[in-house]
Amino acid sequence: MEASKNGADKLNELSMNILVHAGNARNFMVQGLQIVETENNYNKAEKLMDKAHKEIVVAHGLQTETLQKEAMGRSIRYSVLFCHAQDTLMTAQSEILIAKHLIKLCKSKSIKEKSDIHD
Protein backbone atom coordinates (compact mmCIF):
# COMPACT_ATOMS: atom_id res chain seq x y z
CA MET A 1 0.00 0.00 0.00
CA GLU A 2 2.73 2.37 -0.92
CA ALA A 3 1.96 5.94 -1.89
CA SER A 4 1.35 5.08 -5.54
CA LYS A 5 -1.95 5.29 -7.43
CA ASN A 6 -2.29 1.52 -7.18
CA GLY A 7 -1.47 1.70 -3.47
CA ALA A 8 -4.07 4.44 -2.98
CA ASP A 9 -6.69 2.28 -4.70
CA LYS A 10 -5.77 -0.68 -2.49
CA LEU A 11 -5.94 1.43 0.66
CA ASN A 12 -9.33 2.84 -0.38
CA GLU A 13 -10.64 -0.67 -1.08
CA LEU A 14 -9.32 -1.93 2.24
CA SER A 15 -10.87 1.04 4.04
CA MET A 16 -14.23 0.35 2.43
CA ASN A 17 -14.02 -3.31 3.47
CA ILE A 18 -13.33 -2.28 7.06
CA LEU A 19 -16.32 0.09 6.92
CA VAL A 20 -18.58 -2.63 5.50
CA HIS A 21 -17.66 -5.19 8.16
CA ALA A 22 -17.80 -2.66 11.00
CA GLY A 23 -21.17 -1.45 9.71
CA ASN A 24 -22.46 -5.02 9.49
CA ALA A 25 -21.31 -5.61 13.05
CA ARG A 26 -23.09 -2.52 14.27
CA ASN A 27 -26.29 -3.52 12.45
CA PHE A 28 -26.24 -6.98 14.08
CA MET A 29 -25.70 -5.33 17.46
CA VAL A 30 -28.65 -2.97 16.98
CA GLN A 31 -30.84 -5.89 15.89
CA GLY A 32 -29.81 -7.81 19.00
CA LEU A 33 -30.77 -4.94 21.28
CA GLN A 34 -34.07 -4.49 19.46
CA ILE A 35 -34.86 -8.20 19.91
CA VAL A 36 -34.30 -7.83 23.66
CA GLU A 37 -36.51 -4.72 23.76
CA THR A 38 -39.37 -6.12 21.69
CA GLU A 39 -39.31 -9.88 22.23
CA ASN A 40 -37.22 -10.55 25.35
CA ASN A 41 -35.54 -13.23 23.24
CA TYR A 42 -32.06 -13.45 24.72
CA ASN A 43 -30.96 -16.49 22.71
CA LYS A 44 -31.73 -14.73 19.43
CA ALA A 45 -30.04 -11.55 20.68
CA GLU A 46 -26.91 -13.46 21.70
CA LYS A 47 -26.74 -15.11 18.27
CA LEU A 48 -26.89 -11.69 16.65
CA MET A 49 -24.14 -10.49 18.97
CA ASP A 50 -22.03 -13.49 17.89
CA LYS A 51 -22.53 -12.40 14.27
CA ALA A 52 -21.53 -8.86 15.24
CA HIS A 53 -18.37 -10.19 16.89
CA LYS A 54 -17.42 -12.19 13.79
CA GLU A 55 -17.77 -9.09 11.61
CA ILE A 56 -15.63 -7.06 14.00
CA VAL A 57 -12.93 -9.75 13.93
CA VAL A 58 -12.80 -9.52 10.12
CA ALA A 59 -12.64 -5.71 10.15
CA HIS A 60 -10.01 -5.68 12.87
CA GLY A 61 -7.90 -8.21 10.95
CA LEU A 62 -7.93 -5.96 7.87
CA GLN A 63 -6.85 -2.97 9.94
CA THR A 64 -4.13 -4.91 11.77
CA GLU A 65 -2.70 -6.28 8.54
CA THR A 66 -2.27 -2.73 7.26
CA LEU A 67 -0.74 -1.42 10.47
CA GLN A 68 1.72 -4.31 10.56
CA LYS A 69 2.93 -3.41 7.06
CA GLU A 70 3.66 0.10 8.23
CA ALA A 71 5.40 -1.23 11.35
CA MET A 72 7.65 -3.27 9.04
CA GLY A 73 8.77 -0.09 7.31
CA ARG A 74 6.38 0.10 4.36
CA SER A 75 5.14 3.62 3.85
CA ILE A 76 1.36 4.01 4.16
CA ARG A 77 -0.02 7.31 2.94
CA TYR A 78 -2.38 9.28 5.16
CA SER A 79 -5.97 8.61 4.19
CA VAL A 80 -9.05 10.29 5.59
CA LEU A 81 -11.04 7.24 4.48
CA PHE A 82 -8.74 4.83 6.36
CA CYS A 83 -8.90 7.10 9.42
CA HIS A 84 -12.72 7.09 9.19
CA ALA A 85 -12.72 3.30 8.84
CA GLN A 86 -10.57 2.94 11.96
CA ASP A 87 -12.84 5.32 13.87
CA THR A 88 -15.94 3.42 12.76
CA LEU A 89 -14.35 0.12 13.78
CA MET A 90 -13.38 1.42 17.21
CA THR A 91 -16.84 2.87 17.80
CA ALA A 92 -18.56 -0.35 16.73
CA GLN A 93 -16.26 -2.37 19.00
CA SER A 94 -17.14 -0.16 21.97
CA GLU A 95 -20.85 -0.27 21.25
CA ILE A 96 -20.79 -4.06 20.93
CA LEU A 97 -18.95 -4.42 24.23
CA ILE A 98 -21.56 -2.27 25.98
CA ALA A 99 -24.45 -4.04 24.21
CA LYS A 100 -23.18 -7.45 25.33
CA HIS A 101 -23.16 -6.23 28.92
CA LEU A 102 -26.63 -4.71 28.57
CA ILE A 103 -28.04 -7.95 27.19
CA LYS A 104 -26.39 -9.91 30.00
CA LEU A 105 -27.81 -7.51 32.62
CA CYS A 106 -31.30 -7.63 31.13
CA LYS A 107 -31.17 -11.41 30.97
CA SER A 108 -30.05 -11.65 34.62
CA LYS A 109 -32.77 -9.23 35.69
CA SER A 110 -35.39 -11.18 33.76
CA ILE A 111 -34.29 -14.48 35.32
CA LYS A 112 -34.32 -12.91 38.80
CA GLU A 113 -37.79 -11.46 38.26
CA LYS A 114 -39.09 -14.86 37.13
CA SER A 115 -37.60 -16.60 40.16
CA ASP A 116 -39.06 -13.92 42.47
CA ILE A 117 -42.52 -14.58 41.02
CA HIS A 118 -42.22 -18.31 41.72
CA ASP A 119 -40.99 -17.81 45.31
Residue 5 pLDDT = 61
- According to DSSP, residue 46 is labeled H
pLDDT in tens, 32-65: 999 999 999 999 999 999 999 999 999 999 999 8
Low-confidence stretches of the chain (pLDDT beneath 70): 1-5, 118-119
pLDDT at position 113: 82
pTM of the model: 0.87
What are the boundaries of each domain within the chain? 5-118
Please state whether 93 falls in left (phi above 0), alpha (psi between -120 and 50) or beta: alpha
Is 119 labeled as ligand-binding? Answer: no
List of residues 6+ apart from 18 with CB closer than 8 A: 59, 62, 63, 82, 85, 86, 88, 89
Q: What is the Cα–Cα distance from 53 to 76, expressed in whole angstroms?
A: 27
Please tell me the class of the 5-118 domain.
Answer: mainly alpha
Question: Which residues are identified as catalytic?
Answer: 84
Please, which residues have CB within 8 angstroms of residue 33's CB and are 6 or more apart in sequence? Answer: 45, 99, 102, 103
Give the separation between CA 35 and CA 40, rounded to whole angstroms. 6
Cβ within 8 Å of residue 79, ≥6 positions away: 8, 11, 12, 15
